[in-house]
Amino acid sequence: MDSIYSNVAAARALDDLLAVRRSIRSFTAEPVSQDAVEDILRAAGLAPSNTNTQPWKVDVLIGPRKTRLTQAIMEEHHRNDEMPSAHFPIPLPSENRERQMAFGQLFYGTLGIAKGDRDAATRQLATNYDFFGAPVGLIVSIDSSLLKHSWLDCGIFLQTLMLAAAARDYGTCAQVVFARHEATIVRELGIPENRSVVCGVSLGVPDRNDPINNVSYPREPVSAFASFRR
């Protein structure tokens, strides 16, 4: 096959990148230049979308602007650390719940947080709002009137962004937990009220010595999620 997609070396490089990419939750203090961020966003902007609608918007937070948002969310977090989460339905389907529990065991086990230690879990949750110490924080939003198919487009954009960052030796973590604090984010950043917060993203140089960045979470085999119908 002779096409722009038939480069075996490129395919292997992509496979390797997919295999090593992690959600990074600990970063060094090394800064990320605006040129580097723009380069990553330029690549992410090539993501496909339904009829090329490109529904994503990104607020890039660096330095004092990021610090102010972190402080505002932390104040709200400490006032009410039991804010409702719209991440998942209740109850979560059993097979998804099993994977979530397996994640929790690995994640909190690596951090040394015992099951049922609510105070420690709450403190760990709060590290999200400082973007895990990353020098760059991104807030991704979408027009509230758009439907689930456009939210899917945002997901494709995020995956493209995270792979583009990883290819340049930067780490990322997509953080849906920011959606809990949508009202605060809209107020602090002046985001138009017709937009919904999709998630935050931490971006920076990974701290490769922190064990939390080296955890491998199990993935299902193809046979578990794909049905071939001939």
pLDDT computed for residue 5 by the predictor: 67
Q: Distance between CA atoms of 213 and 71, rounded to whole angstroms?
A: 25
9 found inside a domain? no
State the pLDDT at residue 80. 74
- Whether 84 maps to a domain, the answer reads no
pLDDT of res. 84? 61
Tokens of 220: 């299902």
Return the closest-CA partner of residue 176 out of 125, 111, 108, 117.
125
Per-residue confidence (pLDDT) for residue 86, from 0 to 100: 66
> Is 6 within the bounds of a domain?
no
8 in a structural domain: no
Of 125, 224, 143, 113, nearest to 181 by C-alpha is 125
E-strand stretches of the chain: 56-62, 136-143, 171-175, 195-204
Per residue in 74-88, pLDDT tens? 999 888 756 666 688
Closest CA to 170 of 66, 32, 45: 32
Note whether 212 and 111 are within 8 A (CB).
Answer: yes
pLDDT < 50 positions in the chain = none
SS3 199: strand
Which residues form the domain of 150? 23-79+89-214
Model pTM greater than 0.85? Answer: yes
Q: What is the CATH number of the domain that holds 157?
A: 3.40.109.10
Q: Please report whether residue 146 resides in a domain.
A: yes
Residue 13 lies in a domain: no
Query: Is 66 a domain residue?
Result: yes
CB 214 within 8 A of CB 20: no
Q: What is the number of structural domains in the chain?
A: 1
DSSP 50-87: GGG---EEEEEEETHHHHHHHHHHHHHHHH-TT----S
Q: Does residue 30 fall inside a structural domain?
A: yes
Q: What is the pLDDT of residue 57?
A: 98
Residue 146 is predicted with a pLDDT of 98
- Phi/psi for 2 (5° steps) reads -110, 105
Task: Tell me what pLDDT residue 78 has.
Answer: 86
